[in-house]
Structure formats: structure tokens, C-alpha cells
Amino acid sequence: MNLKTTGRRVEVTSDAEGLTSRSGAYLLTELADRLGLTSALSSAMAPTRSRRSAHDPGTVIRDLATSIADGGDCVSDLGVLAGQKDLFGEVASNSTAHRVIGSIGESELEALRAARAAARAGAWQAGARPEELIIDIDATLLQAHSEKDQAKGNYKGGFGFHPLIAYLSESGEPLAALLRPGNAGANTAADHFKVLELALEQIPEADLDREILVRCDGAGATHAFTADCREASINFSVGYELSPAVQEAIIQTPAAGWQPAIEATGLIRDGAWVTELTGSVDLSNWPQGSRLICRKERAHPGAQLKFTDHDGHRFTCFLTDTQDDRNALLELRHRQRARIEDWIRSAKDTGMRNLPFAGFAANQAWLEISLIAQDLLAWTKIPCLTGALAKAEPKRLRQRLFHVAGRICRSGRRVTLRLPRSWPWAKELEAAFRHLRALPAPLLA
């Protein structure tokens, strides 16, 4: 057997000084400082600080969020920031971080949420304000590998938790997350409205007067939840069950009653059509002005048809109270709710895949820190990054920016982080720091 090698032999030693393997992760901590998140977290956690000489618990929360955004999924991953004092300062030990998380009760959790909201106002002021306020709500299953507090069996036969999460559709900012046992109901109206209420608290007060839309799948299609949305003056777009009455209305709709569906580009979506069934189905129990819109689409080649797939088409319906006669545009808007699947997938790659603690309160705190990490990632893209990196998922940001090595150089009192000239994305990272430092400071009083 012929052995193949990579070329020349490279000697490996561990005697270099002034090197860091997390140059880009410093962008996250500086962003947190610039937006006022660090100081807000410190104020939120101040009552839990036992003595002045102890680590600032707010800074510990920031460092935990940084390590999670950098790819960590447990407290011990905080160690990758330790030993790099020039960039990250004095990083707390694992035991200290555990104590900080253990000190987070309900009042501290509310204070952390308020700190996130204040920092969000600063981020939006710096250019991250979305053009539309569309809040997507969905639940996901998190597996537990041991008997953790309130971990229960779920409807898919697994074991763990069933959190309900709200995201801002345009930017992917995580607004709120409600940790629930694995056996929590998917269509619990009270939970949906609770997470929506927490999400609204994250929106800056000046933006609450704007039109807000909440989107859910069929789990959010409850009379109580849509009534609560109406009372709060929030528009809704929720999935609707294909009941026998709806199926009959679909069958009775003439061919001329269907109009072509459209893509996000405005072009016609091949093999898909839209119609309104409001006048054909009894909607009297729903909020006044509710409308039922249906899309039919040819099944994909090889797809197994169900008995509800009339004439070889798949049907999906949704209920909305938006008064707009452009049904194809409303259907496209509701279909774009699928973005939340991407946000949740990225969230599970950002500390949310496994909740590491035995206690429920500690796991809820960890979930909130994961939201902070996701916030930092979202705010890093705007206004710090441009081009493809401004749309990149966490894994790509880590591989191309956060994990690049650098050398710490000192000249007098000046400290310089020198990035490798050969790194393909060194200029993008340098520009990101330049854009960040061009922001007015402090953004948060």
C-alpha cells in the first residue's frame, strides 16, 4: 500500500507568544459593548453580585453568549476565551459561570430580557431596524439525554422539551422563547400569546405604532389566540385545517376562480394557484373580517398523494385578517413563514440543541443566553458586514471570521491585532471592525 502525504513535514511546537485563535470573536464582545448590552446586563445582574472583587455577572453573561455564538454548547466552552486577556479580559472560571447561571431567577430573567430590549433599540438605531415587523412563532423539540427537570415525552416519541419561539422574520432576531415540557401542547393559545407578549416587549417603543403581523402554522389557528391578536391590534396569518367543509369548498371552486401563485421575485410560480374561500366556509366564530385563502400546487414528482390531494394537487389554507385583494401576494407572505425553520435550525447550532443543566430554571436561563448569542450574530451582520457574509449562517461566520488566528502586537501603550494577510476573509473582518467603530458611541445611555 502506497502512503500519501500532504507534502513537506511541518514541525509543531507550543512556544509561540502573542497569538490568538479567536480574533473574529472579539467582534462580538466589542459589539455588545458598543450597543450597551454589556452595561445593561451588568445592571440587570447587579443584585446577584456578592462582592465588588467578584466577576461582574453581566460580563460573565456576555462572555457566555460570545462563546455560544462562537460555537460553544456548554459552560466549559467558555474556556476557549480564557488566556486571551488582551481581547476578552479576565474570563470567569466554569464554577463562577455556573454560579451566575444558578443565580438567575424569574426577576433576573425579566431584567435580562429588558437588557436585550434596550440593546435592540441601539442596534436598530445603528441601522438594523427592519422594514417590516413580521413576527413568526413556532415550536420545536429539544432532545434531553437524561432525566432533566420537566423533560417529558413528546408527540414524536422522543424525550425532552418543547419550547415555543418567536423570531423577527426579516432579520432573524430571536425575540422570545418560552421553555416548556416535552408534552406541552402545540396549539396552546395561552402559550402562543405569552410568547407574543414577550416578543412585543423586545420591540422598541417607537416602533410599536407600526403595523405588526404575527404568523403561525396551524398550531396558532385557535379562536382565543386570534381574538387576542385582534384585541392587541395585531394582524394575523395562521395556518388553517383542511376540514371536510374546506375540502368541499375547494372542490366546488371553478377553474376560473383560481389565480396563479407568485414567487418572491414577482414571477408566476409554476404549477401553483390561489383562491379565496371566505364566502364558501363558515368563519363566523373567528374575528370579524377574517379571510380564508387556499393554495393548490401540483405534487412533486414521486410524492405520495393523500386522500385530501384532490385531482393530484396539494392544498394548504391560511386564515388572515389583512384586507388586501391581492390574494397571491398574501399567500406569498404567508408562505415566507418558512424562514423560521432556518432560524430555528441556526438556533440549534447556537447553544439551543441541548439544554445542559438538570434544573428547569437554569435551562430557561441558558435558553435566554442563547437568544443573546443569536442577537449578537444578527446584529453583527448589520451594520458590520456586507455582501454574502451579511446573509451567512452561524457556521460560515465562525469558519471565515470568528476562528481566524491573529497576533497581538504592542507598541508603547497601543495594542494591535494583526490578521494574517493570506486569510481570504481578512479584509472583510478588518472592514467589520471599521464599520463597528464608526457607529456613534455610546448607543445606549
Q: Indicate whether 197 belongs to any domain.
A: no
Residue with cell 393523500: 306
In this predicted structure, what is the pLDDT of residue 445? 47
> Taking a C-beta distance cutoff of 8 angstroms, is the pair 27, 401 a contact?
yes
Is residue 410 in a domain? yes
Query: What backbone phi and psi angles, to 5 degrees, belong to 153?
Result: -70, 145
- Would you write out the chain's pLDDT as a tens digit for each of its 445 residues? 666 666 678 888 888 788 888 899 999 999 999 999 999 999 999 999 988 777 999 999 999 999 999 999 999 999 999 878 888 989 999 999 999 999 999 999 999 999 999 999 999 999 899 999 999 999 999 999 899 999 999 999 999 999 999 999 999 999 999 999 999 998 899 999 999 999 999 999 999 999 999 999 988 889 999 999 999 999 999 999 999 999 999 999 999 999 999 999 999 999 999 999 999 999 999 999 999 999 999 877 656 666 566 677 888 999 999 999 999 999 999 999 999 999 999 999 999 998 999 999 999 999 999 999 999 999 999 889 999 999 999 999 999 999 999 999 988 888 899 999 999 999 999 999 999 999 876 555 4
Q: What pLDDT was estimated at residue 6?
A: 64
Residue corresponding to grid cell 391578536: 229
Q: Rounded to an integer, what distance in angstroms lies between the CA atom of residue 201 and that of residue 276? A: 34
* Total number of domains constituting the chain: 1
* Selection from 154, 176, 152, 172 nearest residue 164 by Cα: 176
Residue 290 forms part of a structural domain? no
Residue 365 falls within a domain, yes or no?
A: yes
Q: What is the pLDDT of residue 411?
A: 85
Tell me if 389 is assigned to some domain. Answer: yes
Where in the sequence is the domain holding 34, given as residue range(s)? 19-107+353-437
Task: Kindly state whether residue 261 falls inside one of the protein's structural domains.
Answer: no
Q: How many Cβ atoms sit within 10 Å of the Cβ of residue 391? A: 10
Domain assignment present for 158: no
How far is the C-alpha of 16 from the C-alpha of 22, rounded, in Å? 15
Q: How far apart are CA 225 and CA 236, in angstroms?
A: 9
Residue 361 within a domain: yes
Q: How far apart are CA 373 and CA 353, in angstroms?
A: 14
Q: Can you give the pLDDT at residue 4?
A: 66
Strands (E), 80-234: 133-139, 142-143, 152-153, 159-161, 164-168, 174-178, 212-216
The C-alpha atoms of residue 62 and residue 46 are separated, in whole angstroms, by 14
